[in-house]
Amino acid sequence: MIDEELALSGERFRAVYRLHGPAAEAEARARAIALEQTVEFPDALLPGTAIRAQVVGRITDIRPIDAERTDVAIDYAVETAGRELTQLLNVLFGNVALQPGVRLVGLTLSPTLAAHYRGPRFGIAGLRARLDVHGRPLLCTALKPMGLSPAALADLAYRLALGGIDLIKDDHGLADQPFCPFDERVRRCAEAVQRAADETGRASLYLPNVTAPAAEIPGRARVAKAVGAGGLLFCPGLVGLDAMRTLADDDDLALLILSHPALLGGLAVGAHAGIAPGLLYGGLGRLAGADAVIFPSYGGRFALTPEQCRDIAGGCAAPWAGLAPAWPVPAGGMTLDRVPELVDFYGRDCILLIGGDLHADDDLGARCRAFRRLVGGGVD
């Protein structure tokens, strides 16, 4: 059963794990991870020497961060992940995700591996060109609350587009409920946003939520395309990052992908486990084809720190694996009065997502226009 004929390329990609615990234990823990994520087999029992030399992860750096944390870098053979995002995630973090005190904080792809991933189709430059909006953040809002009929949501979409909102997405809670069927909602909302654009001469994009049972995702995306939606909202935490990649890579669709963090963000909540927010949102989301990545900003209803949010924005923008930069979309209870601060923090290449606060008084149009003025984009 000895496979000495194994002859891998020697090309490796790198994962960095932050270990919480005594520095003296870091090396042994790193060795355990290098086995766990590949052969899942005791080192002493490995048959022959080829697997140990070529398949088992290789520890390439051990670096104390502070008294309680040590970063360990492990290099994995590209062949272990093959050409599959699912298997890349599995090697990176499949089993160690179940261990407290281990946090995935870094990923460096190698050329062969990076070549499997197209990443954002539009990204920052592509979306700016499509909307012909330059030099300011983009404005985004959600169609809600759940419970409105398709006609009511379409009316709302129309007024938001008239008000100058660039991206109008379904709330991520709008699926295919009996009180708001997908087909009718998407058809009405797409038509309403187009009607507003025809009146104003300004483009807005409507992005329906196509998160759905596995077999229904392609059909919903096709409906969205057929009625003229400008992009898709997708929750990779509910359906898998690879399902998002599949949509993003579909040249027949060629639609903008806006990623929503539902459930997925649960992997970023722990201080010492899970996946660092900068990598989860800015890295893996982009790798899976998101042109724009919604995340819970500091100062809202969720719990990320400014430093973590800076990491996310940095992860979206940094040169990485040859992928186009994606838009960071800070969200989760953002309000108009914070727009100047948010622009100052995130810069101009971000999409500001404000939901409920746009409805804080009866004049939705006035609040949309105020939102637009706050980012330096006038509305005639």
Nearer to its own copies, 64 or 306 (CB): 306
Q: Which residue stretch of 16-24, 119-127, 211-219, 341-349 sits at the interface with its own copies (rule: CB under 8 A)?
A: 211-219
Q: Is 171 in the site for its own copies (CB under 8 A)?
A: yes
Question: How near is the Cβ of 130 to its own copies at its closest, in Å?
Answer: 26
169 is catalytic: no
Residues 6+ apart with CB under 8 A from 109: 13, 117, 320, 321
Nearer to its own copies, 127 or 142 (CB): 142
Question: How near is the Cβ of 147 to its own copies at its closest, in Å?
Answer: 4
| Secondary structure, 3-state, 70-126 | EEEEEEEEHHHHCCCHHHHHHHHHHCHHHCCCEEEEEEECCHHHHCCCCCCCCHHHH
Question: How near is the Cβ of 239 to its own copies at its closest, in Å?
Answer: 4
- Out of 169, 172, 225, 260, the active site residue is 260
CB 354 within 8 Å of CB 336 = yes
Cβ atoms < 10 Å from Cβ of 223 = 17
Nearer to its own copies, 41 or 345 (CB): 41
Tokens standing for residue 268: 């970023």
Residues 6+ apart with CB under 8 A from 223: 182, 183, 186, 187
Nearer to its own copies, 78 or 124 (CB): 78
Name the helix (H) or strand (E) containing 180: none
Q: Which residue stretch of 20-28, 199-207, 257-265, 341-349 sits at the interface with its own copies (rule: CB under 8 A)?
A: 257-265
Question: How near is the Cβ of 219 to its own copies at its closest, in Å?
Answer: 13
Tokens standing for residue 272: 């010492």
Q: Report phi then psi at 72, rounded to 5.
A: -120, 135
144 is catalytic: yes
Report the residue from 20, 31, 50, 108 that binds its own copies according to the rule CB under 8 A: 50
Q: Is 223 in the site for its own copies (CB under 8 A)?
A: no
State the burial class of residue 192 (Cβ atoms within 10 Å of its Cβ: 0-12, 13-18, 19+). Answer: buried
Q: List the one residue out of 268, 266, 313, 254 whose CA is nearest residue 286.
A: 313
Question: How near is the Cβ of 211 to its own copies at its closest, in Å?
Answer: 6
Report the residue from 177, 322, 337, 348 that binds its own copies according to the rule CB under 8 A: 177
**Subset of 319-338 contacting its own copies (CB under 8 A):** 332
Q: Is 360 in the site for its own copies (CB under 8 A)?
A: yes
Q: Which residue stretch of 87-95, 119-127, 317-325, 337-345 sits at the interface with its own copies (rule: CB under 8 A)?
A: 87-95
**Subset of 3-22 contacting its own copies (CB under 8 A):** 3, 5-6, 8
Question: How near is the Cβ of 246 to its own copies at its closest, in Å?
Answer: 5
Through-space distance between the first and last CA atoms of the chain, rounded to whole angstroms: 75
Question: Which residues carry out catalysis?
Answer: 144, 260
